[in-house]
Every structure is written in structure tokens, then in C-alpha cells.
């Protein structure tokens, strides 16, 4: 099969009828790739439609604007991780089990490659898309802080000393992963400021919880 036949087969595969959730995911993946390659401002809806094998009209069925596409990317990053059912120290869970649960969810939420790609895009385009950068800060980073601090306040308050630095400043639970997030955004996925930053984060939380 020659290259033109390959391209035709790819376009046909993209244009086959998909459930709406699958189509939206396909559009968002294509949009993130286009934004990362060309920048937010330089990317057109035509480019996104072409990248996922849709007509422009087909793209507008799902998203009315490029801004709406970007907002959906942020929302997907925001809701990717399940923050329910934190293990309870008061019910016999070890400090290490609790620390591992928190760190696993922080890493899944903030170190997922698409989240890093969005942050890198926002850093490079911050002068041109200040509203999008603010959306990331307010929607993603603050939400993560609120989820973790709420769990510590609501679920662990009875199990740790009120004089504990973690009880007084629960946002500190995020500090190590945020350091790794910025490191990866600057130097690339798969890099870390320490050979085992995740384990060091767990050890730190264990010390704070105990």
C-alpha cells in the first residue's frame, strides 16, 4: 500500500462514527499536539480538524471555538484523578500507606505527560495567553491544593498533632511534587531533580504524619 492509500485509510478511520466521548478525547489529543508544536495563538481550528481527520464543521459540532478546546483540555487535566477514600490513620492505616496514597494521586494528576505538556505550553505562551495561565493556576494547581489540604484537615486532623507542621500548613504536602512538575516542564518528561523523587516525597510525608 502506497503512502497516499495509507493517508486515505487514516482519514477514513478518523472520520468513522465514534461515540461522543471518544471523539472529544481524539480532538483534545490532536489539539494538544497542535498547540505544543505551533503555540496556542498560531494554531487554528482548521489545524485541529485536519490533525484529527475531521472537517471543520465536524469539529464545531463538539467545540465552538479554540478557547473552548483549551478549556476542555484544562478540565480533563483537572478531573483525571480520583481523590476519594483516603486511608485513615485513625482506623489503623499506617502513615506510609496514607503518604503513598497522597503522593500517588499527586503524581497521577500533575506529572501525567499531557498535564506537563499543557504547563509547558502555558509557560512558553504566558505573555500571549495570560487568561489561560490564570485558568491553569486557579483551576488545576489550586484545586489540587484544596483537595489535598481538605483531606488532611477533614480526614487526618484527629490523627495528627495540631502542632504538626502538616496540620498547620497542609499545602506543604504538595511542595515536592510541584518541584518535580516544574523540573519536568523545563527539562523534559522522564527527568526528576532526584533519582527517586517520588520515594523521597513519601518519606517526607511519613515524617510529617508521624
The secondary element (H helix, E strand) that includes residue 45 is helix 45-51
What confidence category does residue 144 fall into, taking pLDDT thresholds of 50, 70 and 90? low
Say what the pLDDT of residue 210 is. 72
Please give the angle made by the CA atoms of 179, 181 and 186, to the nearest 5 degrees: 100
CB 183 within 8 A of CB 193: yes
What confidence category does residue 118 fall into, taking pLDDT thresholds of 50, 70 and 90? confident
The pTM score is 0.72
What confidence category does residue 209 fall into, taking pLDDT thresholds of 50, 70 and 90? confident
Q: What is the pLDDT of residues 14-36, one digit of tens each?
A: 456 778 889 999 999 999 999 99
The secondary element (H helix, E strand) that includes residue 170 is none
pLDDT > 90: percent of the chain: 23
Amino acid at each position: 500500500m502506497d503512502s497516499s492509500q495509507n493517508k486515505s485509510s487514516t482519514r477514513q478511520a478518523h472520520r468513522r462514527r465514534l461515540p461522543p466521548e471518544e471523539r472529544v478525547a481524539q480532538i483534545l489529543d490532536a489539539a494538544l499536539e497542535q498547540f505544543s508544536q505551533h503555540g496556542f495563538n498560531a494554531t487554528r481550528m482548521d489545524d485541529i480538524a485536519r490533525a484529527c481527520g475531521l472537517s471543520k464543521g465536524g469539529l464545531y459540532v463538539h467545540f465552538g471555538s479554540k478557547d473552548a478546546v483549551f478549556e476542555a483540555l484544562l478540565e480533563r487535566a483537572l478531573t483525571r484523578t480520583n481523590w476519594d477514600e483516603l486511608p485513615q490513620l485513625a482506623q489503623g492505616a499506617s502513615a506510609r500507606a496514607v503518604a503513598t496514597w497522597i503522593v500517588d494521586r499527586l503524581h497521577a494528576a500533575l506529572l501525567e505527560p499531557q498535564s506537563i505538556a499543557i504547563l509547558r505550553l502555558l509557560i512558553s505562551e504566558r505573555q500571549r495567553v495570560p487568561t489561560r495561565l490564570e485558568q491553569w493556576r486557579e483551576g488545576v494547581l489550586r484545586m489540587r491544593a484544596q483537595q489535598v489540604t481538605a483531606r488532611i484537615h477533614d480526614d487526618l486532623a484527629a490523627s495528627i498533632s495540631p502542632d504538626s507542621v502538616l496540620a498547620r500548613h497542609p499545602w506543604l504536602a504538595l511542595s515536592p511534587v510541584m518541584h518535580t512538575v516544574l523540573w519536568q516542564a523545563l527539562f523534559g518528561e522522564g527527568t526528576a531533580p532526584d533519582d527517586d523523587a517520588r520515594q523521597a516525597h513519601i518519606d517526607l510525608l511519613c515524617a510529617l504524619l508521624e
